Structure 1
Amino acid sequence: MAARRPRQTTSPDSLTFADLGVPDALNRLLAAVGVDRPFPIQAATLPDALAGRDVLGRGRTGSGKTYAFVLAVLTRLAATATPRRAGRPRALILVPTRELATQIDSVMAPLAQALSLRTMTIFGGVGARPQIAGLRAGVDVLVACPGRLADHVEAGNAHLDAVEITVLDEADHMADLGFLPTVRRLLEQTPRGGQRLLFSATLDAGVDVLVRRFLTDPVVHSVDSTLSPVAAMAHHVLHVHADDRFAVLVELTAAPGRTVVFTRTKRGAKTLARRLVAAGVAAVELHGNLAQTARTRNLRAFSDGEVHTLVATDIAARGIHVDDVALVVHADPPVEHKAYLHRSGRTARAGAAGTVVTLMTDGQVPEVRELTRKAGITATTTRLRPGDALLRELAPGERTLVPQPVPQPAGPRHEAQPAHGSRGRRGGKPAPTTSTRSAPARSGAAAFSARARPGARRGGR
């Protein structure tokens, strides 16, 4: 059945989670971490989700969708108190990436524990045996990437016939990554009468197919335009000479505060992180060619403040939340305007301010103009050279450069397959903080991909 027409919803300032029906045990934990007032997407969707309705929630990245479905799932499971059964989760949350699965579980686990509920994650790039053991022990909420979960279902380790609530998070991103056939097969194995919650930044054709096939008379909540940037986000385009790009990037990333730098390709992220470290910037990389242990360690180092610059492909553009990211730099302008908005959404989250910088060379002027037009943003464009005063305005503070030698590899490193392509593949050996297998660092635009090859956007996950 077709979804109802989206409607705009707002949350009164006085509304609390208790007003929405969230139990006291969860309210106390939320208050302890400073979450005491619901965001618009939470205020809009929670009453319907708690009432058992199918919900379609649409909102840009950083709008608070995780708590919206986590609180609904845990509250409803606690109310029914159905006993856990081996290999048969009671709720299923499908997500596109390993990092997002881990992040959702880290938010949910302490809340679940307060209600005596058990959670676990399933994704590729790590050993299958601990996942099999966890499934056999019984789990209430399973957070999973589609590929590895399909492997466990096929092997008989997991059965989806007891799923009471299914959540699809970042559904449009799953469509972009080609997961929809697997997602459909998984959803077809959940009970037809189960509740389904779908959260997405956009409602593209692939997502609409899921809505029409699997959601029953869904209540639709759209808290903002899919093209609207965060109001507190300042957008700048720096028009630079190709040979100046790396020097400008060093000036931006050497400032205090967290910075996320995006490249189009995995090789570009690897090479750029390596060059920044050699120049004295505390940086780590995040891309699909890293073993899962290295991905987890690098993201934790960035989140904990051990390093303040994360160089990433679009694997970090969706769903990953790190507090207080002050600056996002598009070292390579993305191919699509949606990618620009999702990348940029790593800053100015939860009402905070943030700055977004796009580096643009002469040959990239037409594509960047078209990119910003489609994204619906107004950017300030400035032609500059290294040392320009604007760089200190965009990334204020004392620059700190402590050059480090790039470590040499001790031996062959096994790289994990992407989560959706893994079939029981174990993760590789721990990787160094910055990659050691790329070609020697090069100067200028060649140091990080100026233009992606056809198909590189998907492969850059």
Structure 2
Amino acid sequence: MASAYEVDTWLAMNQVTVEGDDLPRPVFEFAEASFPPYVTDMLLANFKKPTVIQSISWPIALSGRDMVSIAKTGSGKTLAFILPAIVHTAGQSPRGHQKSPSVLVLLPTRELAQQVDEVAKLYCKVMNLSVTCLFGGAPKSEQARDLERGVDVIIATPGRLMDFLEAGKTDLRRCTFLVLDEADRMLDMGFEPQIRKVVSQIRVLT
């Protein structure tokens, strides 16, 4: 593990600011991230080392802390949040016949939702977890079938998710990991009422 001096030097070199009390130190190698071995193997097969946002986000998210991250497109932010989310849901009690997910990722657009879904499916597959992507502009029937079978991870735009919640096709009683990707953009697009309704249904861990 890197020393406090090494971490401070690394943060300064990468022009990164981290705020918070008693935060876990960044990880500089995939093996330090406490992921299951097969996830680490997948990462090593495709990347040399974590990006800056991944190095900082993984240990914080895996510790169960709330966090806000600001990073540019192309920084590796999708893996920064989706891998802790998947590891989190894998550690929950078996879903059994319950249909509610334990992870919800909200995004502003169909295109972004589909991009994140592609990444999530790769890692959910190796961990035997189910994922579905809910967005407008597509028939509801196939998405509804996924929800009827039950899923571990939902990736969704706010409007389409609210449609299914209000229709009773799914619920968020088991959801304990929430990601708001591009939250500022969702607010700019007028999704605040839907986001507030969704957040009010999330299970709070104590």
- TM-score normalised by L of structure 2: 0.84
Alignment-derived partner of residue 15 in structure 1: 28
1:164 pairs with 176, 187, 201, which one? 176
Contact 2:132–2:151 under 8 Å retained in 1: yes
Look up the SS of the partner of 2:115 in the other structure. Answer: helix
Alignment-derived partner of residue 47 in structure 1: 59
Q: 2:107 aligned with 1:95, yes or no? A: yes
Runs of 4+ in 1 over 3 A off after TM superposition: 84-87
Distance 1:84 1:118, change over 3 A: farther
Deviation at 1:139, TM superposition (A): 0.3
Q: 2:129 aligned with 1:117, yes or no? A: yes
1:171-194 per-position Cα deviation (integer Å, ceiling 9, x unaligned): 011011111111111110111328
How many pairs does the alignment contain? 185
Structural RMSD (CA): 2.0
| Larger RCO (CA within 8 A; separation ≥ 6) | 1
Alignment-derived partner of residue 273 in structure 1: none
Contact 1:135–1:157 under 8 Å retained in 2: yes
Alignment-derived partner of residue 26 in structure 1: 39
Deviation at 1:43, TM superposition (A): 0.6
Alignment-derived partner of residue 67 in structure 1: 79
1:310-329 per-position Cα deviation (integer Å, ceiling 9, x unaligned): xxxxxxxxxxxxxxxxxxxx
Alignment-derived partner of residue 79 in structure 1: 91
Alignment-derived partner of residue 174 in structure 1: 186
* Higher gyration radius (CA): 1
Alignment-derived partner of residue 382 in structure 1: none
In 1, distance between residues paired with 2:97 and 2:156? Answer: 18
Look up the SS of the partner of 1:83 in the other structure. Answer: coil
Deviation at 1:104, TM superposition (A): 0.5
Contact 1:84–1:140 under 8 Å retained in 2: no
Alignment gaps of 5+ in structure 2: 1-15, 19-24
Alignment-derived partner of residue 134 in structure 1: 146
Distance 1:120 1:35, change over 3 A: same
In 2, distance between residues paired with 1:152 and 1:98? Answer: 16
In 1, distance between residues paired with 2:66 and 2:101? Answer: 19
- TM-score normalised by L of structure 1: 0.38
Counterparts of residues 374-413 of structure 1 (less than 5 Å): none
Which one-letter code corresponds to 1:147 in the other structure? G
Alignment-derived partner of residue 184 in structure 1: 196
Contact 1:84–1:139 under 8 Å retained in 2: no
Counterparts of residues 286-435 of structure 1 (less than 5 Å): none
Look up the SS of the partner of 1:142 in the other structure. Answer: strand
Contact 2:176–2:204 under 8 Å retained in 1: no
In 2, distance between residues paired with 1:69 and 1:187? Answer: 18
Contact 1:85–1:139 under 8 Å retained in 2: no
Deviation at 1:84, TM superposition (A): 4.6
The share of aligned pairs that are identical, in percent, is: 38
Alignment gaps of 5+ in structure 1: 1-6, 195-461
Contact 2:30–2:43 under 8 Å retained in 1: no
1:220-279 per-position Cα deviation (integer Å, ceiling 9, x unaligned): xxxxxxxxxxxxxxxxxxxxxxxxxxxxxxxxxxxxxxxxxxxxxxxxxxxxxxxxxxxx
Deviation at 1:83, TM superposition (A): 1.9
In 2, distance between residues paired with 1:170 and 1:180? Answer: 13
Deviation at 1:115, TM superposition (A): 0.7
Higher helix share: 2
Which one-letter code corresponds to 2:179 in the other structure? V
In 2, distance between residues paired with 1:108 and 1:25? Answer: 15
Deviation at 1:48, TM superposition (A): 1.2
In 2, distance between residues paired with 1:52 and 1:96? Answer: 24
Contact 1:87–1:158 under 8 Å retained in 2: yes
